[in-house]
Amino acid sequence: MKGIIRVALVVVGCTVLGFIGGLVIQSPLSKVISEGAFTRWRSLGSPSERMISLLGIGQYGPDHVVYAETEAGNVYRCCPRSVGQWERAEPPKYVSDQPCWRLPRRASPPPRPVRDCVEIAMYEWATDRTQFALLDDGTVWMWHHHVGLETLLRIVCGSSLLGGVFGLLLAWHRERREQPHSS
């Protein structure tokens, strides 16, 4: 019974230390995250025809989709969830065609020069920005940045979990070391 109590005390102590450590690092880490440090561009490919412009971002079902126009005047759309699956579409009745703002300081730039760019952004309880960029090679790339309360909770809860796992490993190692060895 004493062994279980000792293990529990070590695990709880390390979890509390992990929680405190999470509180300490969450502010500087949140600042780095909000500056776009861990965001990356990803390719959505392109339709079979050469694209010349992005018409904007619209709603298709529950998802946002990007609409693009080709040299032949055809309109295509792509949902970011279905990478590379461009489908021909009717020109949308409503699209958000807000031009792209400058990326946060630590965000990586697009992989090639940008020909056209549209953005959708929401700033209520969280920061959520998505940019679609038509590059000079005719491909469309997407950049998504989300920072909200769950970002802070992941940092604090993750450090608590790591502290607990570390405490469990520490207690296990300590218990193994203190057991009498049979020869």
pLDDT digits (tens, 9 = 90+) for 93-144: 878 888 888 898 899 999 999 999 999 888 877 888 899 999 999 999 999 9
For residue range 1-30, list pLDDT tens digits in order. 777 888 888 888 889 988 888 888 888 888
| Residue 64 placed within a domain | yes
Length, in residues, of the chain: 183
* 133 shares its domain with 45: yes
Q: How many domains does the chain have?
A: 2
* 52 shares its domain with 72: yes
* 165 shares its domain with 111: no
Q: Are 96 and 57 in contact (CB under 8 A)?
A: yes
pTM higher than 0.85 for the full model? no
One-letter amino acid at 21 equals: G
Q: Are 26 and 152 in contact (CB under 8 A)?
A: yes
| Residue 77 placed within a domain | yes
Structural domain of residue 15, as residue ranges? 2-34+150-178
| Residue 183 placed within a domain | no
